[in-house]
Structure 1
Amino acid sequence: MDPRLFKISVIVVACIILQALLNRVLVRIASKFGIQKERRKLINKAINLVLYIIAIVLILMVYSMDQSNLWVYISSFLTVLGVAFVAQWSLLSNITAAVLLFVNHPVKIGDEIEIVDKEFPITGKVSDIGLFFLHIRISENEKVTLPNSVVFNKMVKVISQESK
């Protein structure tokens, strides 16, 4: 058996086991601190993304990719990504607003809210908080999607909160 194949198998199995363990820990922490199921899913996605990136880097190292070349590729990718975000400030502001809405805002998925605006007030139930947009169901057939930066900059009135 090829030793590289064995090492890759070990990395994949370790990643799967670590993913399951971290998911269990996350469930325990979420129940202890009362974190919503939807937020737990988002945190789990972020953890999985980090695990997959680490696994890919380790697999590339198994195939004897020079570490200095690997860091050049990673830094080049991050540089291009940074330039793309700077070129599109609204994307960066929406991502920043999404993080702040997720971490430090009283609005949660399932809450009924009102976006206070002179020209176009919106009242409805928050159905999703994504990386760029907040989705509000205003009726059975209507859904409004607002950029996170708009929601972050407007006054939001929480009418009723969904229980945990």
Structure 2
Amino acid sequence: MIESLYNLIPEGWERSVLLGLQVLAILLAGFILQRFVARTITRIGERYHLPPQFVLVIRGLLRWLIMGSAVLMVLERFGVSGSVLWAALSGFVAVAAVAFFAIWSVLSNLFCAVLIFTLGPFRLGDRVEVIESADKPGVKGRVVAINMLYTTLEDMTEGVNIEEAPLLQIPNSLFFQKAVRRWRGTDVPFTFLDR
């Protein structure tokens, strides 16, 4: 019977058909295995009254692990080395992690700017104080500008001449990391600064 099937395959296609059958068998075995494991995990979760969220996460992780292993086995059948793929993937992840870490502060300030604009914890003309701790005075000033990376305050600490007050640029993320005091309706008239 095998020889009759072998005779049906055109000349020179034996290897391709065999490779296709191997790939199909690997993917089918991976699919069946992941379904079996998912059902087993569900039964264990029901029997031992595990939280459904935990069972769902475990099922998802095992499904990805099994199907990922099956895909790697298929790629090896096509001649792609698993170690080369692993090296490329780990290199990409390392570069992405370094890049994300490098721009984290900028992304944090951008996100906090969006929160400042949408939630409105303070607005132009308000006096704010970023409190360091109970025993240390913080940065105090009047909000004169808000942009995507930082908020500009006109320094209002005691002893500073209002006409010569320096401008302080506070990263937007700091307003969400520290306690902030705010006074609305300041008694000092608001003017746009040309500095």
Normalised by the size of structure 1, how large is the TM-score? Answer: 0.46
Greater fraction of residues in helix = 1
Instruction: For CA contacts below 8 A with separation 6 or more, give which structure has more relative contact order.
Output: 1
Answer with 1 or 2: which has the greater Rg: 2
